[in-house]
Amino acid sequence: MVSRADTIYQNPMKIPLLRPLHPAAASQAGSVGQDFQRQFYESGYEAPLVVPTRPRILDAWLPSVSRLDVAVSLLPGGVRLLDVGCGDGQLLEQAAVKFKELFGVDIARNRVERANERLKHLPQPCDLRTVKLDRESLPFESDFFDAVVAVAVLPFVFDVDHALHEMTRVLKPGGALLVQTNNLGFLRHRLSVLFRGEVRTSYFYGWDGNTLHYFSRTPLVDALGSCGLRVQTISTSGRLQKIRAKWPAVLGADLIVLAKKAQRPCDSQTEP
């Protein structure tokens, strides 16, 4: 029997479920007690990811708006910005014009190293750290940031509630939290489940990009509301982004949600 993993990830895309560690990363992992979770993500980032080739004619006639572009456009300005799951620092670099101080955390040390290299040309201070959000609290005091952003993070953490509460804790009252997730309610995903009995939200390495959680509009809004966050905007990325953003719950392959932390406990409600 040929498994789905064999047909999708090894033939024809040739993507192993878990790449062997780079020697330097392997040595580092051994020194911290063989932390499998961190080792897993660090090894996955060592090699370029393979994604399906798209017809270039679509890029010319129907350019795709990236999730980072949408996220940065929605973020209000301020003094301090925290990027949870900062990766190689691309979002921080794009958002630098809106903030005076930049902070980032990521589980993978090699990604933080690359982010430091990318951001070293910026005039404002950049504080980047390795944090395992599933087990650790964010290493910042409460009510510290004007904005917190987490792009492609919630689908991959083990404890979504802990991650959301930690991001809310370090956010100032009235501050903005922006999260981006997959969208199980996307029309194509609905049809895929109906007719094929499966859904695919990612083309990166691993089983559906190693996605742990799937989101849709209402549960995500409810989760944010339970943390004392009021939803301001729900958008999406991709081709025909302006049209998709009119009904992101069904037309968006992802959900990009901007919410604000309540000034007082009684303000913690979501907009319809």
pLDDT at 23: 45
Which bin fits 141, alpha (ψ -120 to 50), beta or left (φ > 0)?
Answer: beta
pLDDT at 146: 98
pLDDT at 8: 34
pLDDT at 14: 36
pLDDT at 39: 73
> Is the bond preceding residue 12 a cis peptide, omega within 30 degrees?
yes
Pairwise CA distance, residues 169 & 138, whole Å:
9
pLDDT at 45: 63
The β-bridge partners of 256 are 180, 235
> 157-175: string of b/e by CB count within 10 Å (b at 16+)?
beebeebbebbbbbbbeeb
pLDDT at 135: 78
pLDDT tens-place string over residues 10-34: 333 333 333 343 444 444 444 444 4
Q: Which helix (H) or strand (E) holds 104?
A: strand 99-106
| 39 DSSP 8-state letter | H
pLDDT in tens, the chain (272 residues): 323 333 333 333 333 333 343 444 444 444 444 477 777 776 666 655 555 556 566 677 788 899 999 999 999 999 999 999 999 999 999 999 999 999 999 999 999 999 999 999 999 999 999 998 887 899 999 999 999 999 999 999 999 999 999 999 999 999 999 999 999 999 999 999 899 888 888 776 677 878 899 999 999 999 999 999 999 999 999 999 999 999 999 999 999 999 999 986 544 444 44
The predicted model scores a pTM of 0.81
pLDDT at 228: 95
